[in-house]
Amino acid sequence: MIPVRGFEGHKVAVLGLGRSGLAAARALAAGGAEPLVWDDSPEARDRAEAAGFAPFVPTRARPFEGVAALIVSPGIPHLYPRPNPIVARALAEGIPVDNDIGLFFRSWATPDWDNFDAAPRVIAVTGSNGKSTTTALIHHILEVAGKPVQMAGNIGRGVLDLEPAGDGDVVVLELSSYQTELARALTPDIAVFTNLSPDHLDRHGGIGGYFAAKRRLFAEGGPDRAVIGVDETEGRFLANQIGAGPGDDRVIRVSSGQKLDGPGWSVFARKGFLAEWRKGRQVASIDLREIAGLPGAHNHQNACAAYAAVRPLGLAPKLIEQALHSFAGLPHRSQLVRERNGVRYVNDSKATNVDSAAKALQAFPRIRWIAGGLGKDGGIADLAPYLGSVAKAYLIGHSARDFALQIGDTPHEICETMAQAVERAAAEAEPGETVLLAPAAASFDQYPNFEKRGEDFTALVQALPDG
């Protein structure tokens, strides 16, 4: 646990008692603060009370009297589409509002570091798609290299549940836009921006607010190195704002599909090969085509971002290449579930938006595509250029019929349920094809989250008879 510094002897309100909220309450208490906790769920409040935490009472006439700060969990709106009423009250009264990420960055460094031979480092990863895989891949590479490393944030543990830093430790954080937007302190040593595509727009008041939330990771703390995906305009703009000129190697530009060979530092993938360039010359190359845990161009971009993030730590290209080959991939992200009768079954349940589904559809040559769920604004009309590899679509969930109207002449079948879609796709798939779950939609019509959706697909596929 990371004891929170700076609130000794003060009351601090904690709103939201999920994983990050409870960890924040424990860490505040460990640092000498008095946490007061609240959640709209009576069950969550009961668990917190059983753990010994005093309640925050929002219905009091002056609920923030004597309270030094309000710590808000990521899922609770603080700005758009409108602030949670408790947050709104704190804003009106001038109570500082923060989250567990801000508490982590204000508390991570301690006087003990003066005795370390090597200062601990923080690598923070954000972006629309690929940030979980990139984060896990960075963690894996550092483990293979024998570095002391921990992983947390939007993946794995809450940040305040990490162990205090030791000599030369590295922490790898996946940070969502919800987390970067509110944190009052953001000071990573290396910051990674994978890409940007429209998502969570209601929460951020549009695409500009969404990008601004991501940009804070770079603008607030001034990382020593910034790894920036430059395949979209926003990434190119961000790299331009950070760099002092084309040769400024504090910025490492990353791409999947375009050659970056200018005077600066770049890592890019083309035709399945990763290349690192510095000062106008190539210094390393890795063949990504046969790495089972990283299929497709989108995963090649993730590999480039992870490679670029660990190179400033002194890791050699050959060691990184070795680690890439032993990376198993993450569940629900282009995860190979089974090979049966010459057909591959791939679980990409995390492909919840059009951009991530487009990348999945480009990763395999001939696809039986399972899609649908709770569709997002705009539907899937923008996937039209990527449907050439789809032999047939099997549409499920709330938006199945809407999706059917948007995929033109692509053969399709309304299946409604995952079980029926898997059964029909398995019956019709031919050797060499891939049955791909890439929903391009949220899961909340039939499942509590994308993980449960992916687990259902996996279980159904594993239950298919051999032969």
Binding site membership for ATP: which residues? Answer: 127-133
What is the rounded CA–CA span in Å between residue 258 and residue 40? 48
Alpha-carbon distance of 261 to 431, in angstroms, equals: 40
Residues 87 and 32 sit within 8 Å (Cβ to Cβ)? no
Q: Where are the alpha helices (DSSP H) in 193-346?
A: 201-204, 207-219, 233-242, 296-310, 317-325
**Beta carbons of 276 and 316 less than 8 angstroms apart:** no
- The side-by-side arrangement of strands in the sheet containing 11-15 is 54-55, 34-38, 11-15, 67-72, 97-98
Whether 393 contacts 410, CB under 8 Å: yes
Which of 31, 69, 63, 37 shows the shortest CA–CA distance to 50? 37
Q: Where are the alpha helices (DSSP H) in 367-443?
A: 400-406, 418-428
**Burial track 394-427 (b if 16+ CB lie within 10 A, e otherwise):** bbbbbbbeebbebbeebebbebbebeebbebbbe
3-state SS, residue 200: coil
And the tokens for 37? 């906790």
Tokens encoding 389: 């590899």
Q: CA 24, 83, 154 angle in degrees (round to 5)?
A: 40
Q: 330-354 burial string, b = 16+ CB within 10 Å, else e?
A: bebbbbebeebeebbbbbbbbbbbb
Distances, alpha carbon 430 to alpha carbons 63, 346, 365, in Å: 64, 15, 13
Task: Quote the longest CA-to-CA distance of the chain.
Answer: 69
Q: Distance between CA atoms of 175 and 268, rounded to whole angstroms?
A: 23
**Residues contributing to the annotated binding site:** 127-133
Strands 265-270 and 273-278 come out as antiparallel
Token pair belonging to 318: 């050959």
**Tokens of residue 395, six digits:** 């549409």
